[in-house]
A and B are shown apart, each in its own frame.
Chain A
Amino acid sequence: MSGRLSASSQCLSVQWKRSVDGGVITSLTSGRVTSSQHEISDEIAKIQAESPGRAPLLDFAPYRSTALRHPTKELQLVDPEGAELVAPVFGHSDVDPVEADLTVQRGGDPVGERIRVHGRVLDGDGRPVRRQLVEIWQANASGRYSHQRDQHPAPLDPNFTGVGRCLTDDDGHYSFTTIRPGPYPWRNHHNAWRPAHIHFSLFGTDFTQRLITQMYFPGDQLLALDPIAQSITDPAALARLVASYDHDSSEHEWLLGYRWDIVLTGSHATHLEPSDD
């Protein structure tokens, strides 16, 4: 395997682009040659040895679809101004409380292990992000998304869309009731499996704090093999994407609880709000 180095990555890119482009799943029997998990893991290990960092690397060849989609020029440092200093504001006219329970959106009970995922959204200075929008989406218990492009041959669940929204409360707390998602295969390399995860979309108080990420589950053996998770090359930073089992939020004969706190980047705005709590 010629590896990830920039000199060779351009030809590699074209090859891989053909293999995995579009997110549209092609036939499993197309017979193309892809990397093994061993090769992918080896590439990941080499990169991580060189560049432990807390943000995901955008240029991360083990996740093949990054090849032509990562900027190669330095990001330009600017001081935020105007609209960059004010996040969009959402309220009760935007989100119905029932949207936080993904198990009651359809006529019947979805299949799978009922869970609660909850925690707080904080800014980089530890302040709660209040009354702000949290959006989530996920696969069902079988590892299948309710999305037209997902062709994984696992059953759809007519009682589960895997989509939820809520607003944080005055303490920055959010909570969703859902089903534990299943892991699922993808076409990045041969026998590639995504660890079970829930996608989270978050806003802060500044536009610059916008974050979309993925929450993982504790003890998942697939995490170490996954090039998307491992693009965060600092293990301590990656650990911040893993929820913890929270027995205090489990409910007797009803569901298991997980806790996951989210810390956004720092706010740039001058805080004029009185400290009323």
Chain B
Amino acid sequence: MTDTTPGQTVGPFFHHALAYPGDAELVPFGSAGSVVLHGHVRDGAGDPVPDAMIEIRQSDAAGTVPRETGSLRRRGAAFTGWGRSCTDAAGHYWFSTIEPGLPFFAVTIFARGLLDRLFTRIYLPGAADALDGLEAVREDDGRLRFDIHLQGPSQTAFLRYPRT
């Protein structure tokens, strides 16, 4: 563990390399059984972060975490349980996915000005044993909303793991 390679910021110029068609659509937008998970990424002043990237990892509806390939070229591929969304000019991210059988989406956050990745979880509304503050809100139109605050009084609870 002592010789772990340190992280560095994703910087400002990652979109042309890391974004790709269908990156945020774990299932096609609007398809039967799909749900939109979305929110804004904000800094310590409450301003949008337009150069962040969010990745999610999740189980399928039955609670199995897929080990299927095909996330980078989704057309015709099985559900892979992984997606990536770069925030837009308003700091907004979104995914089209399904509600996981296991109670949370595992989340990684990258941004210019953020020197290493952050981890968090987004729990489904009403999930038993959800960590404080990490439940998504069900909006009237059925979408799941979860805002990410990098700093400030509303700072999101970020996580670390025993071996990181």
Q: Give the CA-CA distance A15 to B146 in the complex, in Å.
A: 29
From A267, which residue of chain B is reached at the shortest CB distance?
B163
A213 to chain B, nearest CB (A): 5
Say whether A33 faces chain B, with CB atoms less than 8 Å apart.
no
- Considering only residues 41-94 of chain A, those with a C-beta below 8 Å from chain B are 54-58, 60, 63, 65-73, 75-94
When the two chains form the complex, which single residue of A23, A77, A210, A266 contacts B55, counting CB atoms closer than 8 Å?
A: A210
Task: Type the 1/0 row for B1-29, where 1 means its CB is closer than 8 Å to any CB of A.
Answer: 11111111111111111100000000000
From A209, which residue of chain B is reached at the shortest CB distance?
B164
Contact, CB under 8 Å: A207 / B57:
yes
A177 to chain B, nearest CB (A): 16
Q: Which of B31-39, B135-143, B151-159 contacts A (4 or more CB under 8 A)?
A: B151-159
What are 13 contact pairs spanning A and B, CB under 8 A? A17-B43, A17-B47, A22-B50, A54-B2, A69-B151, A78-B159, A87-B57, A90-B69, A137-B13, A137-B14, A137-B18, A165-B72, A212-B7
Q: Give the CA-CA distance A56 to B47 in the complex, in Å.
A: 24
A113 to chain B, nearest CB (A): 21
Contact, CB under 8 Å: A163 / B16:
yes
Q: For the complex, count residues of B whose C-beta is within 8 A of A.
A: 72
Say whether A264 faces chain B, with CB atoms less than 8 Å apart.
yes
Q: Give the CA-CA distance A13 to B151 in the complex, in Å.
A: 12
Q: A94-B72, A95-B72, A199-B14 are in contact. Are A213 and B150 (CB under 8 A)?
A: no
Contact, CB under 8 Å: B44 / A68:
yes
B40 to chain A, nearest CB (A): 14
When the two chains form the complex, which single residue of A14, A71, A147, A148 contacts B151, counting CB atoms closer than 8 Å?
A: A71
From B120, which residue of chain A is reached at the shortest CB distance?
A76
Say whether A178 faces chain B, with CB atoms less than 8 Å apart.
no
Q: Give the CA-CA distance A231 to B87 in the complex, in Å.
A: 25
Contact partners of A161 in chain B: CB under 8 A: 16
Q: Is the interface of A mostly helix, strand, loop or mixed?
A: loop
Q: A55-B6, A83-B57, A265-B1 are in contact. Are A68 and B151 (CB under 8 A)?
A: yes
Task: Type the 1/0 row for A191-221, where 1 means its CB is closer than 8 Å to any CB of B.
Answer: 0000000010100000111111110000000
Contact, CB under 8 Å: B115 / A229:
no
Q: Give the CA-CA distance A120 to B7 in the complex, in Å.
A: 17
Contact, CB under 8 Å: B49 / A69:
yes
B137 to chain A, nearest CB (A): 20
Say whether A262 faces chain B, with CB atoms less than 8 Å apart.
yes
Q: Give the CA-CA distance A66 to B113 in the complex, in Å.
A: 4
Say whether A228 faces chain B, with CB atoms less than 8 Å apart.
yes
Say whether A166 faces chain B, with CB atoms less than 8 Å apart.
no
Contact, CB under 8 Å: A68 / B150:
yes
When the two chains form the complex, which single residue of B18, B66, B80, B118 contacts A201, counting CB atoms closer than 8 Å?
A: B18
Say whether A136 faces chain B, with CB atoms less than 8 Å apart.
yes
Say whether B111 faces chain A, with CB atoms less than 8 Å apart.
yes
Contact partners of A94 in chain B: CB under 8 A: 69-73
Say whether A117 faces chain B, with CB atoms less than 8 Å apart.
no
